[in-house]
Amino acid sequence: MVSATVGKSAVLGAVVLSLVAVPAQAASGQAHPRAAAARLPAPDMTGLRAVLRSAVAQGAPGAMARIDDSGSVHKATQGVADRSTRRAISTDDHFRVGSVTKTFSAVVLLQLADEHRLTLDAPVNRYLPGLLPDDRITVRHILSHRSGLYDYSNDMFAHSVSGFEAVRRKVFTYRQLVALSLQKPRTNAPGAAYSYSNTNFVVAGLLIEKITGHAVRTEYQNRIFKPLNLHDTFYVHPDTKMPGRYTRGYLTPDTTGAALVDATEQTASWAQSAGAIISSTRDLNTFFSALLGGRLTSSARLAEMERWTPVNSTTAYGLGLRRRTLSCGISVYGHTGAVQGYYTYAFTTKDGKRSIAALANTSNNGKVLDTMAGTLESAFCGRPTETPQPVATTEPDQDMAPAGVG
C-alpha cells in the first residue's frame, strides 16, 4: 500500500515576503512598468500531497517535494523509489535532474563573464573557432535558446524506448553532438526567436572547458558544489551508476499499456552539460536560493540572467533560467528538467527565500508532467480560495523533446 508522509522542521507562521510579479518582457531586458508586490501565503501542504497522489495515480511510481522556507522545511512523498523492492521514495534520495543542469552551466559562464574571461555578446566562434556555421551566434544567444541551432535530441528520442536504448551506454563528445545538430537546418536566424535546444548547452559545456582548461565536472565542483556544500550533487558522466541512495527512474514507452522501462543506469552522455547532473531536493533548493539571493554571481550578471524572452503565456526564459508566473500572480524562478525516468521542477522566489524542488520518477508521460506543475501552485500560492483550474505546461515551445526529454 502506498502511503504519503509529511514533515516540518519548524512551525511555519504567516511569513511575509516581498515579491515582484513582472509580465514577460523582451530580450532587450526592458521591463514593463507594471509591477505588483504580493504577500506570500503559507504553503498548502494538503494541496501538495494531493498533487503527488495524482502523479502516482497517473503512472509515476513515486513523487516527492521539499519546500525550504526561511529556515522551515516541509516535505511530502508518495509512492515508491524502486518498483522491485517497493522502498518508499524519500526526499533524501538522489535523482537525475535533467535540464536543471542548464542553470548550473549558465552560472559557470556568468562567473567567467564576471572574471572578464568571457563576453556575453561575443560570437561563440571567437572562443571556439569554426565550431558554428554562423559568426553571428553569440554566447548570449546560446544561453537564451535564441541561437537557432537545431535540437539533436528531437530525432534521437523520436521513439522513446528504442531511442533511449540506442544511447543509454554510449559516450559522445560535445563536438559529436553539435555535429548531429548541424546536420539539420537551423530553426531561426541568430537572436530572432526563442527555440529550446539542448544543443545550446552542449555548446555551453564546450565553452566552459575551452575557457577554463578544465572539465565541466571540475568547474561545477569548484564554483558551485563545494562553495554551497552541495553534498548530494554530482556530475559522474560517463559513469552509469548513481552515487548514494537514489530514486530509480522509469521511462514510459510510447505504446499505451506497455511496461515501464527502468532507465536509472545510463551515461546521460547525450545530455552532458545540458542535463547530466544528479542531485537532491535539498541541494536544488540550496542552489536556487543562493542564485536568486545573489551569492553565485555579481548583481550585474544576475540581472543578465533575468533579461527575459517570452516563451508562452506563463513562462519566459533568461540565460539558463526560467521565470514562471503562477495562477495567483506570483512569479517564481528556476528550471524544469526531464531525462529518461525523471521529471523535476525546481523554483524559488525572487529573493530566494522560499524554494521548492519536486520530482516524479517517470518521464514521457504528459499527464504527470502537467500535474507536477501543481507543486508550484501549492508551494507559492497557498490554499486556493476556489477550485483551481488545471495548469498545462506543454504549451508550444515548452522545453521538452518528443519523448519528454529536455
Residues 120, 304 contacting (CB under 8 angstroms): yes
Residue type, 22: V
H helices within 187-340, ranges in order? 198-212, 216-220, 281-292, 299-305
Residues 323, 288 contacting (CB under 8 angstroms): no
Distance CA 97, CA 74 (A): 20
Q: Which residues are catalytic?
A: 99
H helices within 197-356, ranges in order? 198-212, 216-220, 281-292, 299-305
Whether a cis peptide bond, with omega within 30° of 0, leads into 310 is no
* Among 139, 144, 140, 115, residue whose Cα is nearest residue 126: 139
Distance CA 255, CA 279 (A): 30
Using alpha carbons only, give the angle 29, 348, 79 rounded to the nearest 5 degrees: 140
Residue type, 34: R
Our CA dihedral for 273, 274, 280, 285, rounded to 10 degrees, sits at 100
- Set of cell numbers at residue 69: 522556507
Count the helix, strand and coil residues of the chain and give each as a percent rounded to the nearest 5: 30, 20, 50
The number of residues making up the chain comes to: 406
List 79's β-bridge partners, or say none.
Answer: 62
